[in-house]
Amino acid sequence: MLYGFLGCGNMGGAIAARLSESTKDIAVSDRSGKARATAKKLGVTYTDTVSVARDCDRIFLAVKPQMAAEVLAPLKPMLALRKPLLISMCAGLELSKVRELAGCALPIIRIMPNTPTALGQGVIPYCRNSLVTDRMLAAWLVDMQPCGLLDALEERLMDTASALSGSGPAYFYMMVDALADGAAMCGMPKAKALTYAAQTMEGAARMVLETKQHPAALKDAVCSPGGSTLAGVAALESAGFRSAVMDCVTAAYKKNKDLGK
Ligand SMILES: NC(=O)c1ccc[n+]([C@@H]2O[C@H](COP(=O)([O-])OP(=O)(O)OC[C@H]3O[C@@H](n4cnc5c(N)ncnc54)[C@H](OP(=O)(O)O)[C@@H]3O)[C@@H](O)[C@H]2O)c1
84 lines ligand 1 (CB under 6 A): no
Task: At 42, give phi and psi (nearest 5°).
Answer: -85, -10
d(CA 161, CA 157): 6
Q: Are 27 and 56 in contact (CB under 8 A)?
A: yes
DSSP per residue, 1-13: --EEEE--SHHHH
Beta-ladder partners of 45: 27
CA 156 to ligand 1 centroid distance, Å: 23
Q: How confident is the model at residue 260 (pLDDT cuts 50, 70, 90)?
A: confident
Report CA(108)–ligand 1 centroid distance (Å). 18
Q: Cβ atoms within 10 A of the Cβ of 95, count?
A: 20
CA of 23 to the centre of ligand 1 (A): 22
- Give the Cα separation of 194 and 186 in Å (integer): 13
Total-model pTM: 0.95
Q: What is the mean pLDDT of residues 74-91?
A: 97
174's enclosing H/E stretch is helix 168-185
Q: Would you say the CB of residue 32 lies under 6 angstroms from ligand 1?
A: yes
Q: Helix/strand/coil (H, E, C) string of 22-56?
A: CCCCEEEECCCCCHHHHHHHHCCEECCHHHHHHHC
Average pLDDT over residues 34-40: 97
* Strand runs labelled E in 138-197: 148-152
Displacement of CA 69 from its chain's centroid (Å):
21
Alpha carbons 103 and 75: distance in angstroms, whole number: 9
Site to probe by mutation for ligand 1, drawn from 63, 75, 255 as the one with most ligand atoms within 8 Å of Cβ, is 63
Confidence of residue 259 (pLDDT cuts 50, 70, 90): confident
Pocket test for ligand 1, best of 8, 28, 29, 31 (most atoms within 8 A of CB): 31
Q: Is the dihedral of CA 143, 148, 149, 154 positive or negative?
A: negative
d(CA 52, ligand 1 centre) in Å: 16
Whether the per-residue pLDDT at 71 is higher than 90: the answer is yes
pLDDT band at 261 (very low <50, low <70, confident <90, very high): confident
End-to-end CA distance of the chain: 33
**Atom of ligand 1 lying closest to residue 14 CA:** 16
Tell whether ligand 1 has an atom less than 6 A from the beta carbon of residue 35: yes
Cα 107–111–116 angle (5° rounding)?
Answer: 145
Answer yes or no: is the C-beta of 122 below 6 A from any ligand 1 atom. no
Report yes or no: 145 and 47 within 8 Å, Cβ to Cβ.
no
Give the ligand 1 atom nearest the CA of 114: 5
Q: Which atom of ligand 1 is nearest to the CA of 8?
A: 43
The rounded Cα 146 to chain-centroid distance in angstroms is 14
Tens digits of residue pLDDT in 126-172:
999 999 999 999 999 999 999 999 999 999 999 999 999 999 999 99
72 in contact with ligand 1, CB cutoff 6 A: no
Give the CA radius of gyration of the chain: 21
Question: Is pLDDT at 190 greater than 80 in this prediction?
Answer: yes
